Amino acid sequence: MKLNFKLYLKTIWISLFKSNKTPGKLTPKRFFVLLIIFLLYPIWYFSLRLAYGLDQLFYPDYREQQIDQPIFIVGNFRSGTTLLHRLMAKDPQFTGMKTWEIFVAPSIVQRKIIRWLLRINDLIGKPIQRIISGFEKSLKTYSYMHKTGLDEIEEDSHIFFHIWSTYDLFAFFPNPELIRDFIYYDDEVPEEQKKQEMSYYKEVLKRHIFANHGKRYISKSPQYSPKVKTLHKNFPDSKFINLVRSPLNVIPSSVSMFSNHWKTYGDPLEDYPQPGPEVMQEQAKHWYLYPHQYLKKLPTDQYFVLRYKDLATDPKAAIEAIYKQFGIKMTPEYQEILTQESEKAKQFKSHHKYSLKKMGLNGRKIKKDFSKAIREYKI
């Protein structure tokens, strides 16, 4: 578990001394947020290291755990990756990480302690549950897109917050200088850094799978799109699902998501400040085509392209097609779950509406800039 100390120091420097013309400019609110982050992070980091050490002592067998044929769901932000991930995680043969497992208890020992505390909690009137419920209500206030909660399945790229080495930092620190290499991960991140990050990732996955009795692992993260080569190299029997959606939906929705992050953690003057629109378009251009260019060379039972509109219209048919191509057996019980989910999909209506003009975007230009992806995927 090696901290990306260089990036950590760079983040502090930029946040304190080079943020004046960004959505993260220093205001009293922003200073308070930074104080909490930079004071609590070292405590969190070293507590994880301690917990991992205890895993080595009390559960050494986890090191022999195999990670067999994991499934990685990739795609741009706002492409439906969360929807697919949570639907497939309803199948009991799979396991994925929940929010509390990622941020509170990635180690086996931590999970054992928490479950022990919850058993005591049940005996004394569930006071912890009331605290958790209050916390989750506050989470909903800042949940602009998909449902969040400590017990919800979540994208495991957040694991890399542990070592301060992730594109997700952009949600808290709106300076492209910090995360540009992560946009082009396979090409721009140094090999030694990749090796260290994948070593840590494997260690966390082994612990999780071991704690879940060897179930098959399923992951989703948009920021894995530029690192499919690295993931395939480290998990050669892995399978990939590439979710694609029209850039006319993806770009404004992504701009809105990050703009709301910056409003939560700072005081930007504009509703949709730069560098949001600029970075979202740069990142999306690479994340649309790069994963497909690499993954389409894999055997057909390792790669599946799924259009968002097909998933949203008929989740059952979409997932049945994935299982068929990947050679995964589907139980009647899970088929029934998918039937129910498909009925729900027919009733769903999105309430997200965006003004491209207010965001500084141009629909005609987006169509032109992303014409190759639109043709490739027929979106």
What is the per-residue pLDDT for 245?
A: 97
What is the per-residue pLDDT for 143?
A: 53
Q: How sure is the predictor about 136, in pLDDT bands with cuts at 50, 70 and 90?
A: low
Q: Which of 54-58, 131-135, 163-167, 236-240 has the lowest mean pLDDT?
A: 131-135
CA distance 52 to 378: 46
Q: Using the predicted structure, report yes or no on whether residue 206 has a pLDDT greater than 60.
A: yes
On average, the pLDDT of the chain sits at 93
In the chain, alpha helices (H): 5-17, 28-58, 81-88, 99-103, 108-123, 127-141, 176-183, 185-188, 191-211, 228-234, 247-265, 276-295, 308-313, 315-326, 332-347, 363-369, 371-377
Question: Could you read off the pLDDT of 219-257 as tens digits, one per residue?
Answer: 999 999 999 999 999 999 999 999 999 999 999 999 999
What is the per-residue pLDDT for 141?
A: 57
What is the per-residue pLDDT for 120?
A: 85
pLDDT, mean of residues 39-46: 97
What is the per-residue pLDDT for 81?
A: 96
Question: Could you read off the pLDDT of 331-375 as tens digits, one per residue?
Answer: 999 999 999 988 887 776 666 678 899 999 999 999 999 999 999
Question: Could you read off the pLDDT of 58-83 as tens digits, one per residue?
Answer: 999 999 999 999 999 999 999 999 99
What is the per-residue pLDDT for 282?
A: 97
Q: 82 exposed, middle or buried (CB, 10 Å; 0-12, 13-18, 19+)?
A: buried
Amino acid at site 41: Y
Q: Using the predicted structure, report yes or no on whether residue 121 has a pLDDT greater than 90.
A: no
What is the per-residue pLDDT for 125?
A: 76
Q: What is the pTM of this model?
A: 0.93
**What domains can you pick out in the chain, each with its CATH number?**
5-377 (3.40.50.300)
Residue 213 backbone zone (phi > 0: left; psi -120 to 50: alpha; other: beta): left
Q: Using the predicted structure, report yes or no on whether residue 134 has a pLDDT greater than 70.
A: no
Q: Using the predicted structure, report yes or no on whether residue 190 has a pLDDT greater than 70.
A: yes
What is the per-residue pLDDT for 151?
A: 86
